[in-house]
Copies of this chain bind each other. A is one copy, B any other.
Amino acid sequence: MSIVLYELAGADSHRPFSPHCWKARMALKHKGLVFDTVSVAFTEVPTIENGATRAVPLIRDGGTLVSDSFRIAEYLEEAYPDLPSLFGGQGGRDLTRFVESWTQLTLHPAITGLAITDIHAMLAEPDQVYFRADRERKLGRSLEAVASGREDRIEPLLKSMEPLRSLLRGRPFIGGNAPLFADYIVFGALQWLRITCPLAVVPTEDPVALWFGRCLDLFDGHGRTVSAASA
């Protein structure tokens, strides 16, 4: 029985966009595991697997349920130690948390500020109601206010990527010569941006864009099976 990955979807179930679900997808691909995906709308999450989780991704592997993208990667590493490593050892696993923290506190808020109204527009109607209420409560402003003047925030976002850019001038992947789960953490953020937001954000010759292209090429171009948002 193959692994099942529950992942977030909008009105079009063929356009999964969640950064966290992309991290889990890429981790499964990295391990070379066969998996089926089940699309779940925001408002359906509490109903899956008898209420096993409040957020996706969630995977079921035989009798085991695991949620949270990092915990999924850790589970896969432990359950399938002979398949390609996602961490490259305990030190790698520990330091991947720094890459996660940097990504979630640097890239995620900026991408939210660029893409939030686009994401809203991709959702089915009941999810739009949930998403607007939930995000406006958390952010303390309307979605439109969050997105207002977003073009002006592209330059600061690009500047905030400088540690990543500098690193990628000297190596093909964050993990070195080959990708690790750390790559998929950052990839998930930029894939989320690519699929939801039609703004041209990262210049094509930027080392970050070149690395992102290499990530899109992995696993027979798996990341390209969902097209970029069109303007």
Contact = CB atoms under 8 A, between A and B. Distances in A.
Interface string A158-202: 000011101100110011100010100000000000000000000
A230 interface: no
A186 to B, nearest CB: 9
Interface of A: 85, 87-99, 101-102, 104-106, 162-164, 166-167, 170-171, 174-176, 180, 182
A68 to B, nearest CB: 13
B90 A163 contact: no
Contact of A92 (B94, B106, B171): B94
A87 B98 CA distance: 14
A17 to B, nearest CB: 23
A174 B99 CA distance: 11
A94 B176 contact: yes
A101 to B, nearest CB: 4
A157 to B, nearest CB: 14
A7 to B, nearest CB: 25
A90 B89 CA distance: 7
Contacts of A102: 98, 102, 163
B180 A98 contact: no
